[in-house]
Amino acid sequence: MKNLNTSRSLGLRTLAVHGGQQPDALTGAIATPITAASAFSYPDFDSGARRFSGEEPGYIYSRFANPTVAVFEQKLAALEGAETAVACASGMAAISATLFALLVPGDEIIHIGTLYGGTEGVVRNLLPRYGIKPVHVANVNELEAAFTKNTKVVLVETPANPGLDIADLAEIARLSKAAGAVSVADNTFATPYLTRPLALGIDIVLHSATKYISGHGDATGGVVAGSAALITPIRTLSLKQFGGNLSPFEASLLIRGLKTLPLRVEASSLSAQAVAEFLDSHSAVDTVFYPGLKQHPGHATASRQMKLFGGIMAIELKGGLNAARTFLDKLSIITQAVSLGDTDSLACHPASTTHSAVAPEVRRQSGITDGLVRISIGIEDTEDLIADLQQALEGL
């Protein structure tokens, strides 16, 4: 990383631009070059042996490490205030590598509230095949009583997907440390611009980098950050054994995305607040799930641990499934698609898309009804988004 002035704490916008990188030593290029190499030479026999044993630094094979990917990892670590980070091929690769690196047969994992559908599948269906027991609690109030001597990991998303539940990260960190468990927070919705879980005591933070970190809907990736002691085994499992490494081409797009992350997240968050207030007053909408609204159950906690309230919301339509179908099909500016965190505003029906593989009873427990619609606000003009939503809601 370039020799930044460390006499004062740098802002996140500055770190997003400069963290983890420096002009290319060979050409002076400011943009990080894409190192499209699968293997790297070493000077001699002994040097190769030392690099493979870990005694000597140096690149050897892009599945293990790549210069372009390394810049992305260092930039994300700087933004999260982490000692180190490891990039993966997708958000699910990041989550899977983290859990399998931390857990062994006989262990228990506590998961709090609602999780993304893919994560639910890993926790509830895949881990038990390997003798790992998932324990679900609805909220942080139930956490302390759920710990046993076998609890090794506590997993949470906040804001949660898709119902925007808010969990108190500092309290989760405190209770997990007291029980000797590793706390893991999925920070995909909030991003390090709005919430820094490690600063609140959480041990590991992870992201689906496909979302806000990319920000342009053109790259797939995941990333895990924390202390070297915790991240090193995750790196070994993810890259050397699972083979879930990030491509240098994707890494280049994610580096670009991180540079504008603070600007995009702030713009979408400010728009989302206005959109949520509009939807909250509409007769066709039963409930708006957005932590920026004072009636949201997690508003006070979100106010403490988030800079703004983010660009994602969910709405419960009074007309149920038919209303959701009509509403989504009438949208014009807002695109009907899964994913989130793009420059483009997106909307989807979680029960039939992102959480369709989740058992119906689990969906019901999580509030994922047939009338629920998730909306990701992009960077378009707020007035245009509200007008699009208004026309789509007419007649419902």
Which residues are marked as active site? 63, 116, 186, 211
Q: Is 39 exposed, middle or buried (0-12, 13-18, 19+ CB in 10 A)?
A: exposed
Number of H helices, E strands in the chain: 14, 12
Which pair of tokens denotes residue 56? Answer: 């000597």
Q: At what angle do helices 248-280 and 382-393 cross, to 10 degrees?
A: 60
8 Å CB contact between 226 and 200: no
Residue 235's contacts (CB-CB under 8 Å, 6 or more residues apart) are 86
Which pair of tokens denotes residue 82? Answer: 């982490």
Which pair of tokens denotes residue 293? Answer: 């609204």
Nearest 10 degrees: CA dihedral of 49, 50, 53, 55? 180
- Order of all β-strands in the sheet with 108-112: 84-88, 222-226, 204-208, 182-186, 151-157, 108-112, 133-137
DSSP codes, 127-195: GGGGT-EEEEESSGGGHHHH--TTEEEEEEESSPTTT-----HHHHHHHHHHHT-EEEEE-TTTHHHH-
